Structure 1
Amino acid sequence: MTDDIDVGIIGSGLGGLTAAAFLAAAGKRVMLFERAHIPGGNATSYSRRAARFDVGLHYLGECEDDGIVRWILDSAGAKVTFRRLDSQGFDIVRGPTWELAIPCDWSEYRERLVAQWPAHRADLVEYFRLVGAIGEAVRGSLRGAVTVSPATAAPALIRLLRHRNTTVAELFDRLGFPPDLRAQLSAYNAYYGLPPSRTPLILHAGAATHFRRGAYYPIGGAGAITDALVDVIERNGGQIRLLSEVERILVRRHSVEGLRIREKGTSYDVRVSTVVSNADWKRTVLELLGQDQTTAGQFSRAASAHTAYPMYLLSLLIDRDLHAEGFGARNFLDIGDIDLEAQYLALDRGRMPERPQVLFCSANLKDPSAQDSAPIGCSSIQLMSPVPGDPRFWGAPAGPASGVRYRRRESYLAAKKSVSDQLVAAAESIVPGLRSSIVHTTDGSPFSHERFIGSSGGSPYGLSSTPDQFMLNRPLPVTGIRGLYLVGANVVFGSGVVSAMVSGSAVATLLLRSKVVRRTRVA
């Protein structure tokens, strides 16, 4: 195989796809290598029994006309249509004795909580003032990063840095919030996988304010964003090679000189001086670079870095039309045990909480007009919850990256059944009679995620966003190796769909402005 390429990209998650789309649209020859059989990473959908299920993208913000996601897609030339979820209650947060519909309007959200907690009015006003301001600064820093604009990003970063050592639990303590209110305000903890005591206030604020301009779902499912970016890449001459695994980043004298690729049992070298890695950061350093091609400090840092808690994804097809039953375009977040610290302590100890939190999403409730979302008279449902990352919980001595065979182990199947039963039992409070309505199930464990996505520990969030691994304590997009750049969930912009897309846009813009991209040859 011979061809001229300017940039080699490892992995087709949203960070890699976004970078590839911008570079290809600017006339650069891009070749993207993806180890799986389809592109997209977590931003993909799959079909079972004529129903559509999303892997990791279930809804998002910043899709309005001036939103970050909309700006990125429009700038790249990617056409995606979004449906706005119920602005009066796109998420329903449920506790043991209470329920709260979260609206998009930030002031209305505050007043609904004040109505439930009138004795804490002043403290809630202060919480919403502070968290709202921090959330706007987070948005400002990301908007500045999208275009690599220091003038836009710097003021927002300065405002953020004064809160860099504060956790959300410390804010709750200062305001004197009771346990139930803390649980309500921490409803999005599972979207970054941390209890309040380990959650940076900045991270909490970014998540809490993410939907204040609207919550959206891509028409056609999570894969619609991937398909649109792939179309831009291929329409502009870029190539995406599937079932193509990068075995090694080739470095000489601290500069990238190529990639070693394995396809269909055969390895070959691609000579390219600019590489963007959307692969898991730990694997990029520990395996693709290796100890011989990186410094002792970099290698040690990657080896000791800890990943976020993995998620379990249970997909159900039920023989009931939830749309006809009055369920709207919204999600449910059942807190379970309001003591989130205890829930995560159980996970740390390698077991499930007795009453785990459950996220309830449905593609056909959010995209009811799509014929592929579910058969007539049926509904697709997905239940998610943080789960232990210890392989022993899943009945194996190590994860699939080690080569351990696990899929038919009785202990693995038993662990999946136990977790699935817990999630269905919890979701019965949302959809009474759910268990008896199930006609098909598929499940995704941390082992599934590690096997298909290649993420360390099977986590969809990459590195854990604890204070010691947050913001400037995360890897920067520019590395110490000339020609090697990083995008995705592990870099300084943080985890999540928007942050991953921002990373890809920022790196592409940086490369195009610096004019470091030059054409080389595949050998």
Structure 2
Amino acid sequence: MVKRSVGIIGGGLAGLTAAAFLTQEGWSVDVFERADAPGGCASDYLLGGCRFPTGATIAFGLEEHGALQKLLTALDINVTAHVLHHPLDIVLADRAVGIYTETSVQTQEWQQKFPSIAPQISRLFHQSQLIADSLYALAKVQWSWPLSSWHDVWIAASTLWQYPRSWWGLARYFTQPWRSLLSTYHLYPPKTPDQQAFMQMLDALLIDSIQTTSENASALMASLALDMYRRGSYTITGGLRTLADALVQRIERSGGRLHYRSIVKMCRWDESLKQWSISTGPQEPNECSDVINATGRPLPGPSAHVTHTPWSPMTPSTGAFRVDGVIARRHLPMPLASHLPRSFQIVLPDITGRPSYLHGAVYLTFHHNLCSNAQDILWTATAHTAVQYWHPRLPRSVYHARKEQAAAQVMAACDRVLPHLAALSSAVYVATPVTYYRFLHKHGVGGIPLTAQQLLHIAGSRTAHPHLYQAGDTVFPGPGTLSAVLSGFLAAQNVVGHRIRLRSS
């Protein structure tokens, strides 16, 4: 039997984090990544000599004692990060609402943009802050969900003893939908123009972070998502790829191995030898005692069914439609050009008379160009779309007609921020879920919708197989970068079978 060895399939932030902690704990680690670079959705790609981010551009949890910062410190990883005091504007049909880190500034924004309901909004966000603070207090003890061992039960019981007020404060919200909390402050159902606009703003924030609306969101997860900006959103110098590269260096420094362009064709458990066999091609298979699936998909092989649970009824059915572009700095208004990155969520209007292939909002980000001409600014606009609209077997003419219509809808939304954005740009690139599958080998993006009902069915890192674990945003839901890193850490902790103590320096 192979001892203290693990094969990690998927080299995104979840897989890399798990590998970094396992090598630190003395395990032999092999990471298999089908791309030619690490990071997954935290990586980047080259188009026309420019380096565009594959996914997110903003990180959460990097504040002092923040969840992400704590894990990076334990791994002796330092990244240069800058707090964004005004990270986002939400563009509604009749107003634009700024999201700020400073509570007093945010309160003034509520008073200006929603004057008739500003006091109720302030009380709602104060209550969300209290709920989020309780969740953070419980997260400090590093316990795993669901409870599937006596060790887990012991950690949960000691947490109850150590943080009784946090437990009881959260108990009533565990199965409560967010709309019930809204109704407590007379914000739901929306009746007045201010209430309706506020609900649109909330939906834009929640769909982006927890993949559902105010109507169905879990009160716990909605509170956590809305409190993230108050705690601080950060940009990392060099982009999130810098974080992925730092994890790779930490893994290799501790003796771990990364295999790029490695497509896992078979993952088989040998009961007689008590070991896994991972095949990536004609060469001899890799053997290991444990496997972490950090791909977000079932593994190929006879043991695939035991990892399918969290992605079965809750598989993300939302894809991303994306438009990337390059624009000269001189075409941007000075307030925008001097504060990069800068993001906008532009709520899409209802379309009548023809089908719409997009829903929710367009997320537009302007960011620095890390390649070629520093005077060029890159921009990325993404919107949610149903995966079934982009079936690879669609007739070519239908596919291109839908692509053209969706691109026009995205650019019309972007023009509300910067008129004639496409015309001012020197290059524009359009991608659909088919494009995502070609490069990332999955159509869906983001995690599962975090409704109160779904929260009860989150599977956690363990599977039905005692030596098979999983990591990713479907395992530890929440904002992408932070949830991926936390899920990787929890998977590593479950593999070693005990609580990993985090060094403070």
Length-normalised TM-score, structure 1 = 0.82
Q: Which residue of 2 aligns with 1:357?
A: 361
Distance 1:462 1:255, change over 3 A: farther
SS in 1 for 2:382: strand
SS in 2 for 1:478: coil
* Counterpart Cα distance in 2 of 1:187 and 1:95: 10
Task: Report if the CA contact (8 A) 2:320-2:445 is conserved.
Answer: yes
Q: Which residue of 1 aligns with 2:200?
A: 183
CA apart distance, 1:39? 1.5
* Counterpart Cα distance in 1 of 2:247 and 2:331: 32
Q: Which residue of 1 aligns with 2:117?
A: 120
Larger mean Cα displacement after TM superposition, 149-158 or 4-13: 149-158
Give CA-to-partner distance per residue, 1:206-238, whole Å, 9 cap, x none: 111112122111100121111010111111111
* Counterpart Cα distance in 2 of 1:167 and 1:308: 22
Residue 294 of structure 2: which of 258, 271, 278 is its match? Answer: 278
Distance 1:221 1:374, change over 3 A: farther
Matches within 5 A, 1:33-182: 33-85=32-84, 87=85, 89-145=86-142, 150=156, 151=158, 156=166, 159-177=169-187, 178-182=195-199
* Counterpart Cα distance in 2 of 1:176 and 1:433: 40
Q: For 1:443, give the aligned amino acid.
A: V
CA apart distance, 1:386? 0.9
**Structure 2: where are the runs of 5+ without partners?**
145-151, 188-194, 501-505
Task: Report if the CA contact (8 A) 1:493-1:502 is conserved.
Answer: no
SS in 2 for 1:119: coil
Q: Which residue of 1 aligns with 2:304?
A: 290
CA apart distance, 1:256? 6.0
Task: Report if the CA contact (8 A) 2:310-2:474 is conserved.
Answer: no
* Counterpart Cα distance in 1 of 2:62 and 2:261: 31
* Counterpart Cα distance in 2 of 1:321 and 1:278: 42
* Counterpart Cα distance in 1 of 2:447 and 2:302: 17
* Counterpart Cα distance in 2 of 1:336 and 1:204: 21
Q: Which residue of 2 aligns with 1:249?
A: 267
Q: Which residue of 2 aligns with 1:368?
A: none
Larger mean Cα displacement after TM superposition, 147-156 or 99-108: 147-156
Aligned length: 474
Q: Which residue of 2 aligns with 1:261?
A: 279
SS in 2 for 1:279: coil
Give CA-to-partner distance per residue, 1:327-380, whole Å, 9 cap, x none: 02321111233xxxx79xx9xx98425x8521111221xxxxxx6256243210
SS in 2 for 1:251: strand
Task: Report if the CA contact (8 A) 2:97-2:113 is conserved.
Answer: no
CA apart distance, 1:502? 0.9
Larger mean Cα displacement after TM superposition, 131-140 or 427-436: 131-140
CA apart distance, 1:165? 2.5
SS in 1 for 2:30: strand
Q: Which residue of 1 aligns with 2:403?
A: 416
Larger mean Cα displacement after TM superposition, 377-386 or 247-256: 247-256
Task: Report if the CA contact (8 A) 1:142-1:499 is conserved.
Answer: no
* Counterpart Cα distance in 2 of 1:237 and 1:32: 12
Aligned pair 1:434/2:421, yes or no?
Answer: yes
Give CA-to-partner distance per residue, 1:399-442, whole Å, 9 cap, x none: xxxxxxx9xx3433332222222111110111122121122123
* Counterpart Cα distance in 2 of 1:437 and 1:469: 44
Same amino acid, percent of matched pairs: 22
**Structure 1: where are the runs of 5+ without partners?**
365-370, 399-405, 517-523
Q: Which residue of 1 aligns with 2:474?
A: 490
Q: For 1:22, give the aligned amino acid.
A: F
Task: Report if the CA contact (8 A) 1:473-1:492 is conserved.
Answer: no
CA apart distance, 1:242? 1.0
* Counterpart Cα distance in 2 of 1:498 and 1:301: 19
Task: Report if the CA contact (8 A) 1:254-1:481 is conserved.
Answer: no
SS in 1 for 2:173: coil
* Counterpart Cα distance in 2 of 1:17 and 1:31: 10
SS in 1 for 2:409: helix
Q: For 2:46, give the aligned amino acid.
A: S
Task: Report if the CA contact (8 A) 2:60-2:234 is conserved.
Answer: yes
SS in 2 for 1:334: strand
* Counterpart Cα distance in 1 of 2:499 and 2:449: 33
* Counterpart Cα distance in 2 of 1:26 and 1:210: 31
* Counterpart Cα distance in 1 of 2:315 and 2:273: 28
SS in 2 for 1:186: helix
Residue 447 of structure 2: which of 462, 470, 475 is its match? Answer: 462
* Counterpart Cα distance in 1 of 2:457 and 2:25: 32
CA apart distance, 1:91? 0.9
Q: Which residue of 1 aligns with 2:458?
A: 474
Q: Which residue of 1 aligns with 2:485?
A: 501
Q: Which residue of 1 aligns with 2:503?
A: none
Distance 1:254 1:424, change over 3 A: farther
Matches within 5 A, 1:296-311: 302-311=311-320
* Counterpart Cα distance in 1 of 2:311 and 2:48: 41
Q: For 2:101, give the aligned amino acid.
A: C
Distance 1:376 1:126, change over 3 A: closer
Q: For 1:469, give the aligned amino acid.
A: Q
Aligned pair 1:215/2:242, yes or no?
Answer: no
Distance 1:382 1:102, change over 3 A: same
